[in-house]
């Protein structure tokens, strides 16, 4: 009985998290902005992200984000990052993760999408794109 209740709580929490957003801000240092629905505002720990959101870090600032599939993104200072598309629906075998780093640095540890459907993960940078074939990588875009 206890196992069923525990499992039900986990499933409920995961479904609520997915309903609220595609990712959550886990840590934050300094001044980080988010552009949602055309409006910039200060980002706070615990904020849920949506597809289309833009994150911008200032000098001496950083942010760590965990996506629903377990992907971890860590942005360094002076970064501009866009979540173009994100879809994680294992029950329907639907996976899509498209992101852009216009400037700055990012460290990435891919989650389930990168493992189950690496062909559906796209990371764009100003001078091309990055093919993801591993689980961890760092990218720096120079100005």
- The span from the CA of 55 to the CA of 43, in Å, is 8
Q: Which pTM value belongs to this model?
A: 0.82
Region of 7 on the Ramachandran plot (φ > 0 left; ψ -120 to 50 alpha; else beta):
alpha
Q: Give the residue, 41 or 16, on which the prediction is more confident.
A: 41
pLDDT-wise least confident of 59-63, 102-106, 121-125: 121-125
């Amino acid at each position: 009985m206890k196992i069923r209740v525990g499992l039900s709580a986990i499933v409920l929490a995961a479904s609520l998290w997915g309903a609220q957003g595609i990712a959550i801000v886990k840590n934050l240092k300094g001044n980080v902005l988010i552009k949602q629905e055309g409006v910039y505002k200060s980002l706070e720990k615990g904020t849920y992200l949506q597809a289309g959101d833009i994150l911008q870090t200032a000098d001496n600032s950083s942010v760590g984000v965990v996506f629903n599939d377990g992907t971890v993104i860590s942005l360094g200072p002076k970064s501009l990052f866009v979540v173009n598309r994100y879809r994680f629906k294992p029950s329907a075998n639907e996976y899509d993760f498209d992101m852009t780093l216009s400037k700055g640095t990012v460290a990435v540890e891919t989650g389930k999408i990168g493992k189950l459907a690496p062909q559906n993960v796209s990371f764009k940078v100003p001078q091309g794109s990055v093919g993801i074939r591993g689980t961890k990588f760092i990218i720096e875009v120079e100005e």
